[in-house]
Chains A and B, each alone.
Chain A
Amino acid sequence: MCGIVGLFLKDKSLEPKLGEMLSQMLEVMTDRGPDSAGFAVYGASEPGRVKLTLRAPEGYDFAALKETLGGDAQLTERETHAVLSVPEASVDGVKAKIAAIAPEVTVVGAGASMELYKEVGLPRDVAGRFKLAQMSGSHGIGHTRMATESAVTTNGAHPFSTGDDQCLVHNGSLSNHRGVRRELERQGVTVKTDNDSEVAAGYLTWRMREGRSLGEALEDSLDDLDGFYTFVVGTETGFGVLRDPIACKPAVMAETDEYVAFGSEYRALAGLPGIENARVWEPEPAKVYFWDRAAA
């Protein structure tokens, strides 16, 4: 069992409150996943720059790393994570240098606007450590984990990101992830952990790299991914939801003029503003739901 949440704002004036709303949703889902928690927030972006989310062991000196890296880099530290903003042209060089000089640092996400945080611990503590409630952004997704398929480690926590500004949270378990993993290797998509959910993220990254939209990539996964799943995924401008054809894992959605929200249970949505007048429904099995700011 796991809990997943997602929030996509339509009303820009709510953006400063995104983190506060998401953090409250995440905390309510503690009963479904007390082992670890994580979230991705699509915040402010600067033209020509990329945000790298770095993760390192407790107490790591990110400032020193920044000094060593040199160049035009801006650093925002948050406990075991830090966001390093670098010019787009230097991204590959910076990543290679980090891998060479700081093996204890992992680049967990990259993109124009996405920042990604996850840790072992109660959702309230994880959200608190990274100050989620103070973050602003246009959309975000979150996950509370009760591990079934791999160990309780930060690496096993969600979200997973396998492409720029792409991330996924998953409730369920995939039965053909070994086979899909081999196909992804052939296609040159890197899947770093043994986790089945990361394979799903990698699969969507591959489909979108092949030119499919988020909605189309989700359609494809109905044919290629086997097992139980409710996915909530984010891209730089989009937000999507898909449940397996058996609808094994729970899902509730709510939509108002201000936002689209997803929760494993209604409880996660109960604290949202205007929820009493929202359209609330259970997403249908094997039906792709997605919203895209760019297409709007």
Chain B
Amino acid sequence: MNAGTQTHAVDLARSSVRELNATLHALKEGSNASLWRVANPGGLHAIAAGLDAPVTVEVDGPVGYYCGGMNKQATILIRGSAGVGVAENMMSGLVQVEGDASQAAGATAHGGALIIGGNAAARCGISMKGIDIVVKGSVGHMSAFMAQAGTLTVFGDAGEALGDSIYEARLYVRGSVTSLGADCIEKEMRDEHKAQLFERFKLAGVDGEIDPSEFKRYGSARQLYHFHVDNASAY
């Protein structure tokens, strides 16, 4: 850390999440870079949600729902597992989970990066709109459902109906895929994709350790974009 970094300690066994978030929300853009260490999160919900400042928040333990939700600019490190909707609707910044993440990790997020050290449960990256998600373990069913933009990189396996009704977004999976969802197909892995994947490895700090050619790419067949009169009876 820079010499100018101020470190603050917050103990959630002694003060509330509401107080912590109010303090973090009051930080304005251009405020001194600061590091916030949060102790005893105990699975509480909405820790460090709605931040909009280039600060770092280190949470020492498992968090509940929506940690880092709506994040802009901030770096949030979770030294434990995360509940439903970690980094949901993130705009920018970085959220890193050391353990597993529950359902809907990175849901609807427009930007930034979400790195999950363990597994992510069902619906990881549902309706993602530009976020880059890297999962070092596996993802559950219906991941990247209706994904619109961004990348989902999975080092392990993907569950049922990966990329169902996907618009755009690139899905990279190293392991097996139980099944692909409607309009999601395997696509050719070209050099530009390997280069993009390498960038994601860098993000996750594993560049040089994994060969991008071990991954397969999945994306949209673009058959469900528009109403097609031949499908009228299906609606």
- Listed in ascending order, the chain A residues whose CB lies under 8 Å from chain B are 246-247, 250, 252, 265-271, 276, 280-282, 284-285
B18 to chain A, nearest CB (A): 14
Alpha-carbon distance A281/B138, docked complex (angstroms): 13
Q: Which of B62, B84, B121 makes the CB contact (< 8 A) with A280?
A: B62
> Does B102 lie within 8 Å of A285, measured CB to CB?
no
A265 touches B83 (CB 8 A): yes
Contact pick for A250, options B62, B84, B100, CB 8 Å: B84
B150 contacts the other chain (CB 8 A) = no
Listed by A's residue number, 21 A-B pairs whose Cβ atoms lie within 8 Å are A246-B122, A246-B141, A247-B103, A247-B122, A247-B140, A250-B83, A250-B102, A252-B83, A266-B64, A266-B81, A270-B42, A270-B43, A270-B62, A280-B81, A280-B99, A280-B100, A281-B100, A282-B102, A282-B103, A285-B140, A285-B141
Contact A265 B122 (CB under 8 A): no
In the complex, chain A residues whose CB is within 8 Å of the CB of B121: 247, 282
The smallest beta-carbon distance between B25 and chain A, in angstroms, is 22
Q: List 4 A-B pairs, minimum CB-CB distance, nearest first.
A: A266-B43, A267-B43, A270-B42, A270-B43
Contact A269 B43 (CB under 8 A): yes
CB neighbours (8 Å) of B81 from chain A are 266, 280
Cβ-closest chain A residue relative to B65: A265
Q: Which residues of A contact B140 (CB under 8 A)?
A: 247, 284-285
Assuming the contacts A247-B122, A270-B42, asked whether A265 and B64 have C-beta atoms less than 8 A apart, the reply is: yes
Contact B102 A267 (CB under 8 A): no
Say whether chain B's binding surface is mostly helix, strand, loop, or mixed.
loop
B44 contacts the other chain (CB 8 A): yes
A-contact bits for B177-218, CB 8 A (1 contact / 0 none): 000000000000000000000000000000000000000000
- B117 contacts chain A at the CB level, 8 A cutoff: no
B212 CB, nearest partner CB in chain A, Å: 29
B121 to chain A: closest residue by CB: A282
Is B54 in contact with chain A by the CB < 8 A criterion? no
Identify which of B42, B61, B100 contacts A282 (C-beta below 8 A).
Answer: B100
Residue from B83, B84, B99 whose CB has the most chain A CB atoms within 10 Å: B83
Alpha-carbon distance between A222 and B81 when the two chains are bound, in angstroms: 28
Complex alpha-carbon distance, A246 and B102, angstroms: 14
Q: In chain B, what residue has the closest Cβ to A269?
A: B43
Interface centre among A246, A269, A280 (most CB of B within 10 A): A280
Q: CA separation between A113 and B81, bound complex, in Å?
A: 36
Alpha-carbon gap, A245 to B129, bound state (A)? 27
Give the distance in Å from the alpha carbon of A193 to the alpha carbon of B50 in the complex.
45
Across-interface contacts of A268 in B (CB, < 8 A): 43
A271 to B61, CA, bound (A): 13
B99 to chain A: closest residue by CB: A280
A154 to B52 Cα, complex, angstroms: 47
Q: Which residue of B lies closest to A280 (CB)?
A: B81
A24 → chain B closest CB, angstroms? 12
Given contacts A247-B140, A267-B64, 13 further A-B contacts (CB under 8 A): A246-B141, A250-B83, A266-B43, A266-B81, A267-B43, A270-B43, A270-B62, A271-B42, A280-B100, A281-B100, A282-B121, A284-B140, A285-B140
What CA separation (Å) do A281 and B43 show in the bound complex?
13
A246 partner residues in chain B, CB cutoff 8 A: 122, 141
| Interface contact A267-B44, CB-CB below 8 Å | yes
In the bound complex, what is the Cα–Cα distance between A285 and B143 (angstroms)?
Answer: 14
User: Least Cβ distance of B233 to chain A in Å?
Assistant: 26
* Complex CA distance for A124 and B81, rounded to whole angstroms: 27
Choice from A247, A266, A271 contacting B62 with Cβ under 8 Å: A266
Residue in chain A with minimal CB distance to B81: A280
